[in-house]
Amino acid sequence: MKIAALQMVSTPDVDRNLATAARLVGEAAHAGARLVALPEYFCLMGRRDEDKLAIAEADGQGPIQDALSALARQHGLWLIGGTLPIRAATPGRVRNACCAWGPDGTRVARYDKIHLFSFDNGREAYDEARVLEAGDTPVAFEADGHRIGLSVCYDLRFPELYRALMTPPCDLLVVPAAFTYTTGQAHWELLLRARAVENQCHVLAIGQGGLHENGRRTWGHSMVVDPWGEVMAMQAEGEGVVLGELSRLRRDAVRTQLPALRHRTLAC
């Protein structure tokens, strides 16, 4: 199965971002991709955290979700919609939801980001909990006979989530993200390759990548990593389509040569 990471440099304008997403999905489909994924916050990189509240949608309906469903159906592919804000039960909060649609436009999965990012180095400060409500449930789904595990950005630092997704084992772990330039430069590739190696499966990492209109700079470096931890394809910055192959042969070869998943003795 050919898979694609659609790297973006999203803006504070939802319509512009949806237009960019549609163009990139079309490019990936033209290149033969069967499963494509957008980055975290693909629909909005606002000027304030609270901007997410203004565009938050009800679960299962709204212009952003409708647009993604239509794109999946138009191109006949599996579409993972990065993340979008879905209204939470708690007033003044949203869920950072990663949703997936099948080739017929039907939504097949919703994962709410579990781990909320907080960072302060004296120059940059972020605290997602000011606006976001955390999820609590790992989510995976089946696509053309492959098991696909969902995660979002900061989740990447918590290997126990990925261990939970490996029962039964996933073939692909998907990581839409908006890593800061600072943390991305230090840890992004290291963590992605570690998740691929320890779980012996492919990883599709989809980043925001560049200088945004709100002044924020994201790391980008969207990539496809194979089960041995080798980077198959990568784009450093800017909009683009990063293509790779989800190969059962490669997965099986790695798991046969080094059967680490069968050697586990401690539960996660």
Annotated catalytic residue: which of 52, 99, 113, 133?
113
| N residues, the chain | 268
Q: Given the structure tokens 């708690």, which residue do they identify?
A: 90
Query: Is 153 a known active-site residue?
Result: yes
pLDDT per residue as tens, the chain (268 positions): 999 999 999 999 999 999 999 999 999 999 999 999 999 999 999 999 899 999 999 999 999 999 999 999 999 999 999 999 999 999 999 999 999 999 999 999 999 999 999 888 888 777 899 999 999 999 999 999 999 999 999 999 999 999 999 999 999 999 999 999 999 999 999 999 999 999 999 999 999 999 999 999 999 999 999 999 999 999 999 999 999 999 999 999 999 999 999 999 987 5
Per-residue pLDDT, 167: 92
Q: d(Cα 134, Cα 80) in Å, to the nearest integer?
A: 19
Q: d(Cα 78, Cα 69) in Å, to the nearest integer?
A: 10
Q: d(Cα 207, Cα 221) in Å, to the nearest integer?
A: 6
Q: Where are the domains of the chain?
A: 2-263
Q: Residue 119, Cβ neighbours under 10 Å: how many?
A: 13
CATH number 3.60.110.10 is the correct assignment for the domain at 2-263 = yes
Residue of 196, 154, 199, 160 whose CA lies nearest to 177: 154
Query: Is 40 a known active-site residue?
Result: yes
The pTM assigned to this predicted structure is 0.97
Per-residue pLDDT, 261: 95
Q: d(Cα 98, Cα 151) in Å, to the nearest integer?
A: 8
Annotated catalytic residue: which of 43, 153, 170, 201?
153
Q: d(Cα 157, Cα 115) in Å, to the nearest integer?
A: 9
Query: Is 52 a known active-site residue?
Result: no
